């Protein structure tokens, strides 16, 4: 069995040892689609995170039978094609108990929020350029602000806990009626949620029903000073509508760790807008990119794969 690992310099020690006991392991650098297709023709196991999009066209002539990806969202993999071609995808999706201990993305959500409201985006380069004009960077506080959690699953609940520490009032909305918490205020609809809060934090699974769920109709119901944080997926926000909203409401803000179509962002409208405007902050999908989170998830995926192989 041959395993290719792409976009990862070094697996955790535990994960590497486990995989190398049953497979010949190679780290590969795949910088274009042709290289990716060739790699999949020459391996049995392909391990990566978010650095590739595995479409039907890329997978159709693949020899690979196992795709390992230590992430929860799988919109970067054509799962229907995998089923059709007999490719088993092993990921973190649905691993609720394990994921309770993986909190990096929730922490990054708060990081993005604080960076947005304290106007830190340009303040670093301002000082590094030899300037010291604090009047340019007057921000606002979280204390007693209302935060809306859209999607009250694992990450939404953790962000609600963090927000409470800052003295915020927590509102939430989830289509799952069983997601109740008496410590917070449940909104009966998305429209009610966005119309009430000062901050909206998005934690939705990305699928057909959540695609472009934040659009001009929803944005029109928000406060002119709303601060929106997205650590879900770029596709949950209709980015053209977001840009239009931010142009009309200069005191509103959008901080996101995800962009629609990533990692191919050269033509991204929201990235182009961010280059020229302070009220958008974008990080390159680094929410879960901590040493602790990476090692935990790699160990888990390796163990999950070994267990699967042992049952065959």
Per-residue confidence (pLDDT) for residue 177, from 0 to 100: 84
Cβ(287)–Cβ(231) below 8 Å? yes
Question: Has residue 311 got a pLDDT over 90?
Answer: no
What pLDDT, on the 0 to 100 scale, is given for residue 180?
84
3-class DSSP assignment, residue 282? strand
CA–CA distance, 34 with 19 (Å, rounded to integer):
26
Give the single-character DSSP code of 285. S
Question: Is pLDDT above 90 for 11?
Answer: yes
Based on the fold, state whether residues 267 and 120 are members of the same structural domain: yes
Mean pLDDT computed over 156-165:
98
pLDDT of residue 44: 97
Whole-number mean pLDDT of the chain?
96
pLDDT value for 189? 97
Domain assignment present for 263: yes
Residue 86 lies in a domain: yes
Please tell me whether residues 127 and 265 are part of one structural domain.
yes
Average pLDDT over residues 230-237: 97
Same domain? For 137 and 156 the reply is yes
- In the prediction, which pLDDT does 309 show? 93
pLDDT tens by residue, 183-204: 999 999 999 999 999 999 999 9
258 and 295 belong to one structural domain: no
The reply to whether 235 and 109 lie within a common domain is: yes
Contact between 6 and 46 under an 8 Å Cβ cutoff? The reply is: yes
Residue 130 has pLDDT above 90, yes or no: yes
Q: Which residues face 169 on adjacent strands?
A: 146
Q: What is the structure's pLDDT at 217?
A: 98
CA distance 127 to 129: 5
Domain assignment present for residue 30? The answer is yes
Residue 97 neighbours by CB distance under 10 Å: 7
What pLDDT, on the 0 to 100 scale, is given for residue 179? 82
Task: Specify the pLDDT at position 3.
Answer: 97
Query: Please, which residues have CB within 8 angstroms of residue 68's CB and are 6 or more apart in sequence?
Result: 45, 46, 47, 48, 90, 91, 301, 302, 305
Dihedrals phi, psi of 32, to nearest 5 degrees: -155, 170
Residue 153 lies in a domain: yes
Q: Within a domain: residue 244?
A: yes
| Residues belonging to the chain | 312
CATH assignment of the domain containing 62? 3.40.50.720
Asked if 304 and 256 sit in the same domain, the reply is: no
On whether the CB atoms of residues 79 and 94 are closer than 8 A, the answer is: no
Q: Is the pLDDT of residue 307 over 90?
A: yes
Residue in this structure with the two tokens 């009047």, named with its chain if needed:
135
CB 12 within 8 A of CB 294: yes
Count of alpha carbons within 13 Å of 177, Cβ hemisphere only? 1
136 and 34, same structural domain? no
CA distance 236 to 305: 30
Given a contact cutoff of 8 angstroms between Cβ atoms, the answer to whether 144 and 168 are in contact is: yes
Same domain, yes or no: 169 and 204: yes
The answer on 247 and 124 residing in a single domain is: yes
Q: Is residue 157 part of a domain?
A: yes
Quick one: average pLDDT of 95-105?
Answer: 94
99 in any annotated domain: no
What pLDDT sits at residue 312? Answer: 73
Query: Do 29 and 83 belong together in one domain?
Result: yes
Q: Please indicate, yes or no, if residue 269 is contained in any of the structural domains.
A: yes
pLDDT of residue 266: 93
Share of the chain above pLDDT 90, in %: 96
Q: Which residues contact 73 (CB under 8 A, 6 or more apart)?
A: 93, 205, 206, 232, 233
Identify whether residues 26 and 90 lie together within a single domain.
yes
Q: Structurally, how many domains does the chain consist of?
A: 2
Range of the domain at 175: 104-282
Task: Give the model confidence (pLDDT) of 238-271 as tens digits.
Answer: 999 999 999 999 999 999 999 999 989 999 999 9
Q: Are residue 31 and residue 134 in the same domain, yes or no?
A: no
b/e 201-240 (16+ beta carbons within 10 angstroms → b): bbbbbbeeebbebbbeebbeebbeebbbbbbbbbbbbbbe
């Amino acid at each position: 069995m041959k395993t290719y690992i792409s976009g990862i310099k070094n697996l955790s020690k535990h994960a590497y040892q486990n995989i190398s006991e049953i497979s010949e392991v190679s780290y590969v650098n795949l910088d274009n689609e042709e290289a990716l297709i060739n790699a999949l023709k020459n391996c049995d196991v392909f391990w990566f995170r978010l650095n590739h999009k595995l479409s039907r066209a890329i997978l159709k002539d693949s020899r690979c039978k196992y795709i390992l990806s230590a992430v929860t969202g799988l919109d970067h993999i054509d799962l229907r094609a995998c089923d059709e071609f007999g490719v088993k995808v092993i990921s973190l999706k649905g691993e609720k108990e394990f994921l309770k201990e993986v909190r990096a993305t929730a922490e990054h959500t708060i990081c993005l929020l604080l960076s947005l409201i304290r106007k830190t985006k340009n303040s670093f380069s301002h000082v590094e350029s030899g300037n010291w004009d604090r009047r340019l960077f007057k921000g606002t506080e979280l204390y007693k602000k209302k935060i809306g959690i859209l999607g009250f699953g694992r990450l939404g609940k953790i962000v609600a806990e963090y927000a409470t520490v800052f003295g915020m009032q927590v509102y939430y909305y989830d289509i799952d009626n069983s997601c109740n918490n008496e410590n917070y205020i449940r909104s009966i609809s998305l429209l009610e949620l966005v119309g009430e809060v000062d901050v909206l934090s998005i934690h939705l699974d990305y699928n057909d029903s959540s695609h472009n769920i934040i659009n001009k109709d929803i944005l029109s119901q928000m406060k002119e000073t709303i601060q929106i944080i997205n650590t879900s997926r770029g596709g949950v926000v209709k980015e053209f509508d977001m840009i239009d909203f931010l142009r009309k409401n200069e005191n509103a803000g959008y901080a996101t760790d995800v962009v629609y179509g990533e990692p191919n962002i050269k033509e991204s409208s929201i990235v182009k807008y961010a280059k020229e405007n302070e009220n958008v902050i974008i990080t390159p999908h680094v929410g879960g990119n901590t040493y602790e989170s990476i090692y935990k998830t790699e160990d888990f995926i390796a163990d999950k794969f070994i267990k699967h192989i042992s049952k065959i």
